[in-house]
Structure 1
Amino acid sequence: MSKRTTSRSARMSVLRTRVTVLAAGLGVSVALGAGVAAAADTSAATTAAGAVQAQAAAQAKAAKAAEAAAAAKAKAAAVKKAAAQQAAAKKAAAVKKAAAKKAVSWVSPVKHYAKSASFAQAGGMWAHTHSGQDFAVPSGTVVVAAHGGTVVKAGGNGAGDGPAYGNAVVIKHANGTYSQYAHLSRVDVRIGQVVATGQKIALSGNTGNSSGPHLHFEIRTTPNYGTAVDPVAFLRGKGLTV
């Protein structure tokens, strides 16, 4: 083999080596590019999934906050309603208590009665119009003080107001009014005696100018005849049903 032939063979070997190396490098580059692309795709997918999860978490948090706010609002409304109901019940109880106290402070002078002649009623039985309210009851019915006070008149001849009233009692009360009880069959109190609301003071009868057994009851602004006001209206103003 000649020297020229050997040299050509050597050049061909070197060329083949370079082509091999170039091809190998190109393969590595292609493989590396594919790897980078795959990694990029994976990273993008991970980022997208993270964003979805974050959004879902934010929405769940917002929903939970809204639910908590709604629950707090409902609780506040319930507390307010309960407070209003409690206040209304307390007010109603106070009104009822006040009414009961007001009613207890004055009582009807007799029980189980029928109303007969009324205040200011005209008729031949009286010199002027009727000065009180008549309660028709049997003789001997217990008569009580309509309100606590001090006895200022007691006895026959209308206790000083005239024979038309028969046996009578007049009580002075702390509010400046007077109550009178007439046509009594018996008087059980004396002048100056302090009596309590509802205390027995006499028995009903038919004495004086009377057409039948009953209690004549008056409310006056003084202890004397001629100062009477409507006793039924007065007692109703104190909470009584008369």
Structure 2
Amino acid sequence: MAPDVEPAERLSDLLAHLYHLHENAQDPHLELWPDGDAIGVLAYTRAHHSALPPEQVSPARREQIRLRLKVTGLLYSLIDTEQLGALDQARPPGARRSEHLLTLTELADVLVLDTPGAVSKRRDRLYAARHHRPRTPWHGRQLMAEREAQTRRRVVEVEQARRHHSRVRAAAQELLGVRHDLVLTEDAQDWLHGLIQLLEEDPLRPDQMPSLAAHLSLALAELGEDAARSPAAAGALARAREALSYRDR
């Protein structure tokens, strides 16, 4: 039973993003990645969370957790859709009793519900959630309140992301301005070159903003604590690290 609308983020995209986080971190166990297996990916990323750079130098661990939660939420949604489809095939809405494939008692047993009536309530809840239809005036008010709260949270998140990106961009520009006063490894040079290319895009597309932060965090990871050869470079490094952690304040 296919969903009525395409989810905002596809499962395959979320899993690919998780893979790239571990790939960019040079996770030594990446050959064990369970490609295409969402449950396996969740188990892998939980077990190998520490393979990502520590939070002092990179937002990768926080981003990984956010992605894992998005995956679990999407899986719940997909499971609910499939359960609703199975219930409607077992007992097609409006069909005669003779056309039912399973009784309510049988369904309650399969779903481990206390009573046959709980099956109808389960189906009602799944249908209402899938079609965003309130079942009662109380449910309607609750749904409206939840949507308003989601909108407010989204506004706050967008503003936080905008401020975070603004600080990251400024920090990246400052760091590039003192790069000749930094002890650069070959990898650090590559990440800084990537920063230059990203900063040439003005303005950045929303999908490029996380890439800017990722490039900066990976450059900082390569530079280390003793990379500065001048007070200006030391200050730029400190402000870059501060900019990456700004969102969590």
Shorter-chain TM-score range: under 0.3
Q: Compare the two structures and name the one with the higher strand fraction.
A: 1
Relative contact order, higher structure (CA 8 A, sep 6+): 2
Normalised to the residue count of structure 2, the TM-score between the two structures is: 0.22
Q: Compare the two structures and name the one with the higher helix fraction.
A: 2
Normalised to the residue count of structure 1, the TM-score between the two structures is: 0.22
